[in-house]
Amino acid sequence: MGQNFKAWDLDEAIGYYEQLRNKPEDIYESERVFFFPLLYKARSVLDVGCAAGGFYNIIRTVNPKIKYTGIDVSEGMVDAAKKVFPGADFRVTSGKKIEFADNSFDLVVSLGVLNHVPDYRSFIKECYRVSKRYCLLDLPRLLPKSYTFNEADSYMVLKDRFHSNKPVEDKETKVPYVLADAAEVFGFLKDDLKPAVVLAKGYFGKCDKSVTMPFDQVCFTVVCIEKGRRKTEIITDLPKEIRWRLKEENIGFTEPFERILK
């Protein structure tokens, strides 16, 4: 199942992402409960899927002392980021393995990426591997039911977001829009990663018009994963339908959401 990496290298895609999310106020409500506290705790951060570098500006605005590294599969995006922020460390990555040693960064951030990565398990494992303590991720779009992802009926056409009248064929900008069973994802986080804590915040919503999928709504979910040696604790602020799905598959969690980055 392809990811159409070439779509992110189009000039129109780069132009779109150059204007997207580059100020602290652009951080979504579901993200900011984790994002800002984590930045004050971390001395180093890896931004996986950095696009045109907007998060560099946000992160350094919040914590000017943090050591930032950004990686992306798109050479065009990385070139654009380097032009805007010439002093920052931006690198092109293969999209398979993150080219850093285990426990290299206090914090690994990847927001707006996993919903385009069909093999989300391998992606998350790599983020977790290079993290010394925390991972902040938004997950594939979650469903309160068993589901097998099919790229043929769940995808995004990027050109529908471009601010350009230049003719571009749909297939050139068609990328996966990944949906997943909530129980499957949280089961993976708990059993495969074996972290100390998973904090999760999410809400149901409709997708942008650029998305085609077989459901009216999905659960947009952000997780903060903390490494440690103790038994995994899952703490959630999630819709009741998602909580019921976790209970159905005997995935234990704590509610309501009372603990934030102690």
Strands 105-110 and 211-212: unpaired
Instruction: Identify whether the C-beta of residue 171 lies closer than 8 Å to the C-beta of residue 155.
Output: no
Confidence of residue 1 (pLDDT cuts 50, 70, 90): very low
The answer to which of 7-21, 56-70, 101-115, 123-137 has the lowest mean pLDDT is: 7-21
Orientation angle between helical segments 54-62 and 29-41, nearest 10 degrees: 60
pLDDT digits (tens, 9 = 90+) for 162-194: 766 666 676 788 999 999 999 999 999 999 999
Alpha-carbon gap, residue 79 to 91, rounded angstroms: 9
Domains and CATH numbers, the chain: 5-248 (3.40.50.150)
Banded pLDDT at 261 (limits 50, 70, 90): low
Angle between helices 11-18 and 75-84 (to 10 degrees): 40
pLDDT in tens, 9-62: 888 888 888 888 889 999 998 899 999 999 999 999 999 999 999 999 999 999
Confidence of residue 252 (pLDDT cuts 50, 70, 90): very high
Under a CB-based contact definition with an 8 Å cutoff, are residues 174 and 156 in contact?
yes
The pLDDT tens digits for 187-240 are: 999 999 999 999 999 999 999 999 999 999 999 999 999 999 889 999 999 999
Cα–Cα distance measured from residue 235 to residue 255, given in angstroms and rounded to the nearest whole number: 6
Q: What is the pLDDT of residue 259?
A: 54
Range 113-135 average pLDDT: 96
Q: What average pLDDT does this structure show over 88-93? A: 95
